[in-house]
């Protein structure tokens, strides 16, 4: 019995290629046959023998062009013509081959010169194959097209969908909520879905309707796909995954057929999770002007119909993921389709620590690596960014012959991700010196405002990406807002590099190196004045509103007079911050010079080393910290 089953399995494998109903394999067979026929026709035109019957080498035929045939017509002794190919011998016995145009007058002219001409009009099986194969292919294609209509209008669509199968990931996933870290509130929000898939009866007994669709939105890399897999793994139900781009194609109606295909598959395996990644590819907002995008709108309409046609007890949960939730059609977001929208934010400090702890189990971490400090220094990193950071650190450790990740590897990986790879640049000594004083200015003013701003982590003059140097800060915790004192202190820190250039090299030696600092300071000042309402002159009016996609328009809700006032106020804030930084640096030139010389000698200084250099001067610690604090408190009370 086992032998029969094995024979049957082998026979099924052999016939699998021919049992597919999509017709694609038949087309493939015909194309291969036609290709072989073309090759055979090319190489079966007769090959000249290399040796004569007596064993002597046979003369090889020469190739004549059509003009050669006309010019040497009197030298031709025999000519065998088949189509446009001709062959024969010349009067001196030399064989030849030629490609000619079949012309009776030409052949008559050659025959008048005494040549013997024979014309072969017979057809071989290769000729018949080349004639009938295209005809059979056309007939088969017509039959295949009309076969699609046997199930009605949707039959053709199903046939086309089979010809272009959707890339669907199926089966049960082993991912659970234990594999997802840093988004505890989002996991709690989705636990109801898991409970419904495990035991839907208790929901139905109360009369509750579980959301039919869940939309996961958020920044790239925050774990939307991973969370969808975890829901299916936690509930131990089948997981079907497809991308929104899989439902689009060059054939009109293909997207509709594919939507039907994947939903029918989900219904057969309910309860299950149906996950559509990047759903904005088919769910974009419809408009009256989208005449050239009718196929996408038909696909969206079919998706709306399928989701709205669910019964409450089907057990199918549709999960969509997108980075552009604002682009989706309102009909897709209404209750009954995507009832619940879960926005996955970038992880906070505790979330980043959880993610690092999770990924640290997969690599060898040295005892000198402080994951808490690493979490503090990766504000704005997503889960994917943190995983990539540890991977880059592991690669750096391998390149340097280490068997575990050290703090040096982590620092190098973080600097590479934030600033870019290290650049080997041939810089002039004066440029290197100016960069050192520029970064020393940032570092010194940062220490002066250390009681109200984030602690300084390190300063470096090693070029990375477009930056010639950088001063990094390490937040103690995640901030959700900033006081006006912090804003003004950060403006002074940002402009301290330009101030250092002016103090130590003179106003005529300033460079373009402060470009990014000035841009950052300008954005912060304009935001504080026009959006956060921190300016006394502008008041609490929100002038610059945030548009879609995070862009900002040029001063919405503002008259020309108000716009001029905004520009003047931004300039006043920046000038005040620049003057503040210049005053601090001018009063402590010796300390800043010492800090710059240490940077020139060592290229990189840690936060503790910077504090030791700066705060070791007692007069600096007493005089400079009181003055800015007093000024900032005064500004905060306005």
Catalytic residues: 439
Looking at the DSSP bridge assignments, the partners of residue 459 are 471, 605
Q: Could you tell me where the DSSP H helices lie in 199-253?
A: 201-206, 224-235
Q: Enter the DSSP assignment of 45.
A: S
Cβ-count burial of 168 within 10 angstroms (0-12 exposed, 13-18 middle, 19+ buried)? middle
Exposure string for 289-319, b = 16+ CB within 10 A, e = fewer: eeeeeebbbbbbebbbebbeebeeeebbbbb
Beta bridge partners of residue 51, listed in sequence order: 57
Token pair 């071989």: residue: 124
Closest CA to 287 of 252, 329, 326: 329
Pairing mode of beta strands 272-277, 95-99: unpaired
User: Would you say 410 and 393 are in contact if contact means Cβ atoms under 8 Å apart?
Assistant: yes
Sheet holding 78-82, edge to edge: 62-64, 95-99, 85-89, 78-82, 116-119
- Alpha carbon distance 191, 223 (integer Å): 16
65 phi and psi, to 5 degrees?
A: -80, 170
Coil, helix or strand for 318? Answer: strand
Q: List the beta bridge partners of residue 273.
A: 239, 317
- For tokens 């973080």, name the residue: 414
**DSSP annotation of 60:** P
Rounded distance between C-alpha atoms, residue 556 and residue 547, angstroms: 10
The kind and range of the H/E element at 571 are helix 560-587
The pair of three-digit structure tokens given for residue 388, joined into one six-digit string: 């990539």
Contacts of residue 229, defined as CB under 8 A and 6 or more positions apart, other chains included, come to: 173, 175, 239, 241, 275
Residue 621 to residue 270: CA distance in whole angstroms: 69
Q: What single string gives the DSSP state of each residue in 83-125?
A: TTEEEEEBTTS-EEEEE----HHHHHHHHHTT-EEEE-----H
Cα–Cα distance for residue pair 74/395, rounded to 1 Å: 78
Q: Give the CA distances from residue 98 to residues 40, 95, 402, 500, in Å, rounded to whole numbers and listed in that order.
A: 19, 10, 71, 84
278 Rama class: left (phi>0) / alpha (psi -120 to 50) / beta: left
> How many CB atoms are located within 10 Å of the residue 333 CB?
16
For residue 358 the two structure tokens come to 């999770």
Of 342, 396, 345, nearest to 366 by C-alpha is 396
């Amino acid at each position: 019995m086992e032998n029969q089953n094995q024979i049957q399995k082998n026979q099924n494998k052999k016939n699998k290629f021919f049992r597919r109903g999509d017709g694609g394999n038949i087309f493939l067979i015909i194309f291969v046959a036609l290709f072989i026929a073309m090759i055979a026709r090319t190489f079966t035109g007769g090959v000249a023998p290399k040796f004569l019957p007596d064993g002597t080498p046979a003369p090889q035929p020469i190739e004549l062009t059509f003009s050669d045939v006309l010019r040497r017509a009197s030298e031709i002794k025999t000519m065998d013509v088949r189509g446009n190919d001709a062959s024969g011998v010349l009067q001196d016995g030399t064989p030849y081959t030629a490609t000619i145009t079949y012309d009776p007058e030409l052949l008559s002219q050659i025959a008048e010169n005494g040549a013997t001409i024979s014309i072969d009009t017979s057809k071989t099986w290769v000729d018949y194959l080349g004639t009938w194969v295209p005809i059979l292919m056309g007939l088969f294609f017509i039959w295949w097209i009309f076969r699609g209509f046997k199930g009605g209008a949707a039959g053709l669509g199903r046939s086309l969908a089979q010809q272009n199968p959707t890339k669907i990931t199926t089966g049960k996933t082993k991912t659970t909520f234990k594999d997802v870290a840093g988004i505890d509130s989002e996991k709690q929000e989705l636990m109801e879905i898991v409970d419904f898939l495990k035991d839907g009866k208790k929901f139905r007994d109360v009369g509750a309707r579980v959301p039919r669709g869940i939309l996961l939105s958020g920044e790239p890399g925050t774990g939307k796909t991973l969370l969808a897999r975890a829901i299916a793994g936690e509930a131990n139900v089948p997981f079907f995954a497809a991308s929104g781009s899989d439902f689009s194609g060059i054939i009109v109606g293909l997207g509709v057929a594919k939507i039907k295909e994947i939903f029918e598959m989900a219904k057969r395996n309910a309860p299950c999770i149906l996950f559509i990644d990047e759903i904005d590819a088919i769910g974009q907002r419809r408009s009256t002007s989208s005449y050239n995008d009718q196929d996408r709108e038909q696909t969206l309409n079919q998706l709306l119909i399928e989701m709205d046609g669910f019964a409450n007890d089907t057990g199918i949960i549709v999960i969509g993921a997108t980075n552009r939730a604002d682009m989706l059609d309102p009909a897709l977001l209404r209750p009954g389709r995507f009832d619940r929208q879960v926005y996955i934010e970038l992880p906070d400090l505790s979330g980043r620590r959880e993610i690092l702890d999770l990924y640290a189990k997969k690599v060898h971490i040295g005892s000198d690596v402080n994951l808490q400090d690493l979490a503090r220094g990766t504000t704005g990193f997503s889960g994917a960014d943190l995983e990539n950071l540890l991977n880059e650190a592991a690669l750096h450790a391998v390149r340097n012959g280490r068997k575990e990740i050290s703090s040096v590897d982590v620092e190098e990986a973080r600097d590479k991700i934030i600033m870019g790879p290290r650049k080997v640049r041939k810089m002039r000594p004066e440029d290197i010196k100016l960069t050192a004083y520029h970064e020393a200015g940032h570092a010194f003013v940062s220490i002066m405002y250390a009681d109200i701003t984030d602690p300084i982590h390190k300063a470096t003059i090693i070029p990375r990406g477009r930056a010639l140097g950088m001063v990094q800060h390490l937040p103690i915790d995640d901030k959700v807002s900033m006081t006006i004192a912090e804003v003004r202190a950060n403006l002074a820190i940002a402009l301290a590099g330009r101030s250092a250039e002016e103090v130590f090299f003179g106003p005529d030696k300033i460079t373009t190196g402060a470009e990014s600092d000035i841009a950052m300071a300008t954005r912060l000042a304009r935001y504080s004045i026009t959006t956060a309402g921190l300016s006394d002159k502008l008041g609490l009016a929100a002038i610059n509103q945030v548009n879609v996609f995070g862009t900002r328009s040029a001063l919405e809700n503002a008259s020309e007079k108000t716009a001029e006032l905004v520009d003047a106020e931004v300039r006043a804030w920046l000038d005040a911050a620049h003057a503040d930084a210049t005053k601090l640096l001018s009063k402590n030139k010796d300390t800043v010079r010492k800090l710059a010389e240490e940077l020139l000698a060592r290229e990189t200084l840690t936060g503790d080393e910077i504090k030791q250099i700066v705060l070791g001067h007692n007069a600096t610690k007493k005089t400079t910290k009181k003055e800015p604090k007093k000024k900032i408190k005064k500004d905060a009370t306005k």
